[in-house]
Amino acid sequence: MKGVVLAGGTGSRLLPLTKVTNKHLLPVYNKPMIYYPLECLAKAGIEDVLLVTGGNNAGDFIRLLGDGREFGFKNLSYTYQDGAGGIAQALGLAEHFAEGHSICLILGDNIVEYTIREACRRFRHQGQGAKILLSQVENPCAYGVADIDGDRVVRIVEKPKDPPSNWAVIGIYFYDAKVFDIVRKLKPSLRNELEITDVNNAYIDRGEMTADKLNGWWADAGENIDFYLKSCNTVAAGGANKELSTG
Protein backbone atom coordinates (compact mmCIF):
# COMPACT_ATOMS: atom_id res chain seq x y z
CA MET A 1 0.00 0.00 0.00
CA LYS A 2 1.17 3.51 -0.82
CA GLY A 3 0.31 6.77 0.94
CA VAL A 4 -0.97 10.05 -0.48
CA VAL A 5 -1.12 13.26 1.58
CA LEU A 6 -3.07 16.27 0.31
CA ALA A 7 -1.57 19.59 1.36
CA GLY A 8 -2.86 22.12 -1.16
CA GLY A 9 -5.68 24.61 -0.78
CA THR A 10 -5.65 28.32 -0.01
CA GLY A 11 -6.20 28.06 3.74
CA SER A 12 -8.60 31.00 3.58
CA ARG A 13 -10.44 29.88 6.72
CA LEU A 14 -7.27 30.43 8.75
CA LEU A 15 -6.49 33.93 7.51
CA PRO A 16 -4.48 35.97 8.38
CA LEU A 17 -2.26 33.11 9.61
CA THR A 18 -2.09 31.75 6.06
CA LYS A 19 -1.53 35.04 4.28
CA VAL A 20 2.14 34.22 3.63
CA THR A 21 2.28 30.45 4.11
CA ASN A 22 0.43 27.20 3.44
CA LYS A 23 -1.81 26.19 6.37
CA HIS A 24 -0.18 22.75 6.55
CA LEU A 25 3.11 24.43 7.51
CA LEU A 26 1.59 26.13 10.56
CA PRO A 27 2.65 24.72 13.95
CA VAL A 28 0.35 22.41 15.86
CA TYR A 29 1.87 22.45 19.33
CA ASN A 30 5.54 21.53 18.71
CA LYS A 31 5.49 20.31 15.09
CA PRO A 32 4.36 21.60 11.70
CA MET A 33 0.82 20.45 10.92
CA ILE A 34 2.01 18.34 7.96
CA TYR A 35 4.12 16.17 10.28
CA TYR A 36 1.05 14.54 11.82
CA PRO A 37 -0.42 12.90 8.69
CA LEU A 38 3.06 11.82 7.61
CA GLU A 39 3.70 10.24 11.01
CA CYS A 40 0.26 8.63 10.79
CA LEU A 41 1.24 6.87 7.55
CA ALA A 42 4.69 5.93 8.82
CA LYS A 43 3.32 4.34 12.00
CA ALA A 44 0.88 2.35 9.86
CA GLY A 45 3.83 0.80 8.04
CA ILE A 46 3.49 2.78 4.79
CA GLU A 47 6.91 3.65 3.36
CA ASP A 48 6.20 5.09 -0.11
CA VAL A 49 4.37 8.44 0.04
CA LEU A 50 3.29 11.18 -2.37
CA LEU A 51 2.61 14.70 -1.10
CA VAL A 52 0.27 16.81 -3.23
CA THR A 53 0.61 20.54 -2.70
CA GLY A 54 -0.10 23.77 -4.54
CA GLY A 55 -0.08 27.54 -4.31
CA ASN A 56 3.01 29.65 -3.74
CA ASN A 57 4.66 27.62 -0.97
CA ALA A 58 5.29 24.26 -2.64
CA GLY A 59 9.05 24.66 -2.32
CA ASP A 60 8.73 25.12 1.44
CA PHE A 61 7.56 21.52 1.79
CA ILE A 62 10.69 20.23 0.07
CA ARG A 63 12.91 22.34 2.31
CA LEU A 64 11.07 21.12 5.39
CA LEU A 65 10.59 17.43 4.57
CA GLY A 66 13.37 16.59 2.12
CA ASP A 67 13.35 12.94 1.07
CA GLY A 68 11.23 11.80 4.02
CA ARG A 69 13.91 9.76 5.76
CA GLU A 70 13.16 11.58 9.02
CA PHE A 71 9.82 9.73 9.02
CA GLY A 72 11.30 6.40 7.98
CA PHE A 73 10.00 6.52 4.40
CA LYS A 74 11.82 4.74 1.62
CA ASN A 75 10.50 7.35 -0.78
CA LEU A 76 8.75 10.73 -0.43
CA SER A 77 7.60 12.20 -3.75
CA TYR A 78 5.93 15.51 -4.56
CA THR A 79 3.42 16.73 -7.11
CA TYR A 80 1.59 20.00 -7.72
CA GLN A 81 -2.15 20.70 -7.91
CA ASP A 82 -2.82 23.73 -10.08
CA GLY A 83 -5.83 25.47 -8.58
CA ALA A 84 -8.52 24.22 -6.22
CA GLY A 85 -10.32 21.40 -8.01
CA GLY A 86 -11.36 19.33 -5.02
CA ILE A 87 -10.05 16.35 -3.08
CA ALA A 88 -10.91 13.87 -5.80
CA GLN A 89 -9.06 15.89 -8.43
CA ALA A 90 -5.98 15.97 -6.22
CA LEU A 91 -6.33 12.22 -5.72
CA GLY A 92 -6.33 11.77 -9.49
CA LEU A 93 -2.84 13.28 -9.64
CA ALA A 94 -1.55 10.21 -7.76
CA GLU A 95 -2.48 7.66 -10.45
CA HIS A 96 0.99 7.23 -11.94
CA PHE A 97 2.53 7.21 -8.46
CA ALA A 98 0.18 4.43 -7.32
CA GLU A 99 1.25 2.13 -10.18
CA GLY A 100 -1.65 -0.24 -9.58
CA HIS A 101 -1.21 -0.43 -5.80
CA SER A 102 -3.91 0.34 -3.25
CA ILE A 103 -3.54 3.66 -1.45
CA CYS A 104 -4.22 5.34 1.86
CA LEU A 105 -5.26 8.95 1.25
CA ILE A 106 -5.04 11.41 4.14
CA LEU A 107 -5.79 15.11 4.27
CA GLY A 108 -2.88 17.19 5.49
CA ASP A 109 -4.84 18.93 8.26
CA ASN A 110 -6.20 15.74 9.85
CA ILE A 111 -4.76 14.58 13.18
CA VAL A 112 -5.80 11.44 15.08
CA GLU A 113 -5.15 10.32 18.63
CA TYR A 114 -4.25 6.73 17.78
CA THR A 115 -2.48 5.06 14.87
CA ILE A 116 -4.48 3.65 11.95
CA ARG A 117 -2.38 0.49 11.83
CA GLU A 118 -5.37 -1.79 12.52
CA ALA A 119 -7.52 -0.10 9.84
CA CYS A 120 -4.68 -0.62 7.35
CA ARG A 121 -4.47 -4.28 8.30
CA ARG A 122 -8.21 -4.76 7.84
CA PHE A 123 -8.19 -3.05 4.46
CA ARG A 124 -5.32 -5.23 3.25
CA HIS A 125 -7.30 -8.28 4.38
CA GLN A 126 -10.38 -6.89 2.60
CA GLY A 127 -8.43 -7.15 -0.64
CA GLN A 128 -10.42 -4.74 -2.80
CA GLY A 129 -12.84 -1.84 -2.72
CA ALA A 130 -12.61 1.00 -0.22
CA LYS A 131 -12.68 1.74 3.49
CA ILE A 132 -13.54 4.98 5.28
CA LEU A 133 -13.07 6.00 8.90
CA LEU A 134 -15.89 7.61 10.89
CA SER A 135 -15.87 9.82 13.96
CA GLN A 136 -18.74 11.29 15.96
CA VAL A 137 -18.90 15.09 15.69
CA GLU A 138 -20.95 17.89 17.22
CA ASN A 139 -21.38 19.72 13.89
CA PRO A 140 -22.19 17.07 11.24
CA CYS A 141 -23.58 19.71 8.88
CA ALA A 142 -19.97 20.72 8.14
CA TYR A 143 -18.85 17.30 6.86
CA GLY A 144 -19.69 14.33 4.71
CA VAL A 145 -21.97 12.30 6.97
CA ALA A 146 -22.64 8.56 6.93
CA ASP A 147 -26.17 7.24 6.64
CA ILE A 148 -25.81 3.99 8.59
CA ASP A 149 -27.96 0.85 8.60
CA GLY A 150 -26.62 -1.44 11.30
CA ASP A 151 -22.90 -1.83 10.59
CA ARG A 152 -23.28 -0.81 6.94
CA VAL A 153 -22.92 2.65 5.42
CA VAL A 154 -25.66 3.02 2.81
CA ARG A 155 -24.85 6.57 1.67
CA ILE A 156 -22.58 9.52 2.33
CA VAL A 157 -24.35 12.88 2.37
CA GLU A 158 -22.17 15.94 1.87
CA LYS A 159 -22.76 18.80 4.35
CA PRO A 160 -26.41 17.87 4.97
CA LYS A 161 -28.93 20.35 6.39
CA ASP A 162 -30.66 17.42 8.09
CA PRO A 163 -27.86 14.95 8.95
CA PRO A 164 -28.81 11.25 8.97
CA SER A 165 -26.32 10.69 11.83
CA ASN A 166 -23.51 12.47 13.66
CA TRP A 167 -20.87 10.10 12.19
CA ALA A 168 -18.63 12.20 9.97
CA VAL A 169 -16.31 10.77 7.32
CA ILE A 170 -12.87 11.90 8.42
CA GLY A 171 -10.11 12.72 5.96
CA ILE A 172 -8.49 9.27 5.87
CA TYR A 173 -9.54 6.94 3.06
CA PHE A 174 -8.39 3.57 1.71
CA TYR A 175 -8.89 2.73 -1.98
CA ASP A 176 -7.94 -0.02 -4.37
CA ALA A 177 -6.45 0.81 -7.78
CA LYS A 178 -9.92 1.10 -9.36
CA VAL A 179 -10.40 4.47 -7.65
CA PHE A 180 -8.73 6.24 -10.57
CA ASP A 181 -11.28 4.83 -13.01
CA ILE A 182 -13.98 6.34 -10.78
CA VAL A 183 -12.22 9.72 -10.56
CA ARG A 184 -11.95 9.97 -14.36
CA LYS A 185 -15.73 9.60 -14.68
CA LEU A 186 -16.67 12.19 -12.06
CA LYS A 187 -18.50 15.37 -12.98
CA PRO A 188 -17.84 18.64 -11.12
CA SER A 189 -20.21 19.54 -8.30
CA LEU A 190 -22.09 22.82 -7.97
CA ARG A 191 -18.95 24.35 -6.46
CA ASN A 192 -17.01 23.18 -9.55
CA GLU A 193 -14.96 20.57 -7.71
CA LEU A 194 -14.55 16.82 -7.99
CA GLU A 195 -15.97 15.56 -4.71
CA ILE A 196 -14.50 12.72 -2.67
CA THR A 197 -18.03 11.98 -1.43
CA ASP A 198 -18.95 11.01 -5.01
CA VAL A 199 -15.99 8.60 -5.06
CA ASN A 200 -17.13 7.02 -1.79
CA ASN A 201 -20.72 6.70 -2.95
CA ALA A 202 -19.55 4.99 -6.13
CA TYR A 203 -17.91 2.30 -4.00
CA ILE A 204 -21.07 2.04 -1.88
CA ASP A 205 -23.14 1.53 -5.04
CA ARG A 206 -20.79 -1.30 -6.00
CA GLY A 207 -21.13 -2.92 -2.58
CA GLU A 208 -17.37 -2.51 -2.05
CA MET A 209 -17.26 -0.03 0.83
CA THR A 210 -16.51 -0.80 4.47
CA ALA A 211 -16.30 1.62 7.39
CA ASP A 212 -14.50 1.59 10.73
CA LYS A 213 -15.40 3.79 13.69
CA LEU A 214 -12.35 5.65 14.88
CA ASN A 215 -10.83 5.05 18.29
CA GLY A 216 -10.00 8.23 20.19
CA TRP A 217 -10.30 11.80 19.04
CA TRP A 218 -9.96 13.26 15.57
CA ALA A 219 -8.91 16.85 14.92
CA ASP A 220 -9.63 18.81 11.75
CA ALA A 221 -6.98 21.45 12.31
CA GLY A 222 -7.76 23.40 9.14
CA GLU A 223 -11.53 23.80 9.54
CA ASN A 224 -11.38 27.25 11.19
CA ILE A 225 -9.35 29.19 13.73
CA ASP A 226 -11.23 27.73 16.72
CA PHE A 227 -10.67 24.16 15.51
CA TYR A 228 -7.02 25.01 14.89
CA LEU A 229 -6.61 26.25 18.47
CA LYS A 230 -8.45 23.21 19.83
CA SER A 231 -6.18 20.93 17.81
CA CYS A 232 -3.06 22.58 19.23
CA ASN A 233 -4.36 22.26 22.79
CA THR A 234 -5.51 18.66 22.32
CA VAL A 235 -2.15 17.55 20.94
CA ALA A 236 -0.31 19.44 23.68
CA ALA A 237 -2.37 17.69 26.33
CA GLY A 238 -1.91 14.13 25.13
CA GLY A 239 0.00 13.68 21.89
CA ALA A 240 -1.11 12.13 18.60
CA ASN A 241 -0.66 8.92 16.56
CA LYS A 242 -0.25 6.90 19.73
CA GLU A 243 -0.41 3.11 19.80
CA LEU A 244 -3.78 1.89 21.02
CA SER A 245 -3.44 -0.32 24.07
CA THR A 246 -5.25 -3.66 23.80
CA GLY A 247 -4.62 -4.62 27.40
DSSP the chain: -EEEEEE-S--GGGTTTTSSS-GGGSEETTEETTHHHHHHHHHTT--EEEEEE-TT-HHHHHHHHTTSGGGT-SEEEEEE--S---HHHHHHTTHHHHTT--EEEEETTEEESB--HHHHHHHHHH-SSEEEEEEE-S-GGGSEEEEEETTEEEEEEES-SS-S-SEEEEEEEEE-TTHHHHHHH----TTSS--HHHHHHHHHHHT-EEEEEPSS-EEETTS-HHHHHHHHHHHHHH-SSBPPP--
Q: Is residue 247 part of a domain?
A: no
pLDDT higher than 90, residue 102: yes
Per-residue pLDDT of 108-155, as tens digits, reads: 999 999 999 999 999 999 989 999 999 999 889 989 999 998 888 999
Q: Is residue 90 part of a domain?
A: yes
Q: Is residue 246 part of a domain?
A: no
Q: Could you list the residue range(s) of the whole structural domain that residue 83 is in? A: 2-238
Q: Is residue 201 part of a domain?
A: yes
pLDDT score at 55 = 84
Per-residue pLDDT of 103-116, as tens digits, reads: 999 999 999 999 99
Number of domains in the chain: 1
> How confident is the model over 186-191, as a mean pLDDT?
88
Q: Is residue 245 part of a domain?
A: no
Which CATH number do you get for residue 32?
3.90.550.10
Q: Is residue 217 part of a domain?
A: yes
Q: Is residue 214 part of a domain?
A: yes
pLDDT higher than 90, residue 246: no
Q: Which percentage of the chain shows pLDDT scores above 90?
A: 85
Q: Is residue 105 part of a domain?
A: yes
Say if pTM beats, i.e. exceeds, 0.75: yes
